[in-house]
Homo-oligomer: A and B are copies of this chain.
Amino acid sequence: MQMLNPHIQHVPLEKAYRLLTHGPTVLVSSKDHKETDVMAAAWACALEFDPAKVTVVLDKSTKTRQLIENSGYFALQIPTLKQLELVYKLGTTSKMTEPNKLEICQVELFQFENSDLPVVADCSAWLLCELIPEPHIQQAHDLFIGKVIAAYADNRVFSQGRWHFEDADEEWRTIHHVAGGHFYSIGKAVSVEEANLEL
């Protein structure tokens, strides 16, 4: 499937960090020559502005990690409050023990043009990444680095390089895991200008 939703727009790569900097829980997807998986990850982070890079922690027990090691590519995508149950299911069901995980979780996948990476429908943003191989930190710390090769966002909540949670329906808010299925949604916009900062 191609990019059919007219709300989905390219995000310039040098602004892709803005999708992750506020610390949302993400979904990680990948595929190799025979399998596809999607998992949830709270430990994902921006790493560099330009070229845009990201980090994500992937436990050795996950199928998604195997697929990334096999293929060299992965997507980080930013789910919304509306997808809370889906995120929890994808984060607590392992394809290692449940080969039908994706069907059980009822996750809908699509692909962007010029990419065969599987990505999750109805998220607020997507970062398509090429693995930057760092075998030592992958093995010693379960830490993976990716170079962002394309980024997209739904303009109902992210446009012109900015999140607009305050103008969107609450179901578009990012979710931020703490532990054991307990999350916070992102809250109010606050800025130093509003705090009357004089610098």
Contacts and interface: CB of A to CB of B under 8 A. Distances in A.
Contact of A21 (B81, B143, B179, B187): B179
Given A22-B184, A186-B187, A47 B53 contact: no
B176 A22 contact: yes
A4 interface: no
A187 B190 contact: no
Given A22-B184, A47-B143, A81 B190 contact: yes
A88 interface: yes
A23 B197 CA distance: 24
Contacts of A159: none
Contact of A184 (B55, B92, B145, B188): B188
Contacts of A165: 184
Contacts of A191: 181-183
A198 to B, nearest CB: 9
Interface in A147-199: 161-163, 165, 173, 175-179, 181-193, 195, 197, 199
A192 B47 contact: no
Interface in A41-59: 42-48, 53, 55, 57
Interface of A: 17-18, 21-25, 42-48, 53, 55, 57, 81, 84-85, 88-89, 92, 134, 136-137, 141-143, 145, 161-163, 165, 173, 175-179, 181-193, 195, 197, 199
